[in-house]
A = this chain, B = another copy of it.
Amino acid sequence: MKKIAIVTAGGMGTRMGAKLPKQFLLLSGKPVLWHTLNAFINAFEDIDFVLVVPDDFVNTATVLASELNISQKTVIVVGGPTRFDSVKNGLATIKESAIVFVHDGVRCLVSPDLIKRCYVQAIEKGSAIPAVASTDSVRIAMEDDHRVIDRAKVSIIQTPQTFKSELILPAFNQSYQERFTDEATVVESTGNRVYLIEGDYQNIKITRPIDLIIAEQIIADRVS
């Protein structure tokens, strides 16, 4: 089945304190986004890409796609003010039935194995939302207090959030609502349930400077 990865790299990221958005910072000599795209290329030779980038980085993304030899199957679109808008812009380029992966560009350590498993489950169940169990205790803020929740019941959600195009395309025709914190919540609001899949503890998001150092180490460890 046709496979399309919408990779969102629209954020300008302020927590890194760097001049470049974090998806373009160098990690083991290549931009973060290079690693992300490479994982999808390694999962599927026949996958197409939609890169959602900030306005000023269209050229950078074009060069990156060319470097990775995926120019012919890559569409570059400009991100919107929210994740919802950015993904919506990406989805607007999809004209045929496909399995659609929506992936955070800064989750550059995603494994080809996870991507493949998401694909298989999305074909079977319509969706695959990677999740890992919390390794720490978790509390939820209440009105002016907080209560502990059973850790075994807590899932930390990752990407690629993966869907049949028939599920995700109509869902994004809705107007934006504040509760749309990821693609799964958008699809759920159409009355469809979504299905979790075992994620990967190494599938971290690069958000702080230390994450780059950690990612570099994980990459070195994988190579050795």
Residues of A within 8 A of B (CB): 131, 134-141, 145-146, 148-158, 179, 181-182, 184-185, 188, 193, 196, 201-202, 205, 207-208, 210, 213-214, 216-218, 221
Contact = CB atoms under 8 A, between A and B. Distances in A.
Nearest to A178: B150
Nearest to A222: B210
A210 B135 CA distance: 14
Contacts of A193: 145
Contact of A210 (B134, B157, B196, B221): B221
A197 to B, nearest CB: 12
Given A148-B185, A210-B218, 4 more contacts: A136-B157, A140-B153, A150-B181, A214-B217
How many copies the complex holds: the figure is 2
Contact of A221 (B148, B152, B156, B213): B213
A150 to B, nearest CB: 8
Nearest to A202: B210
B182 A157 contact: no
Contacts of A210: 201-202, 218, 221
Contact of A201 (B155, B184, B196, B208): B208
Given A208-B201, A210-B218, A218-B210, A149 B155 contact: no
A138 B155 contact: yes
A210 B188 CA distance: 34
A218 B185 CA distance: 35
Nearest to A158: B136
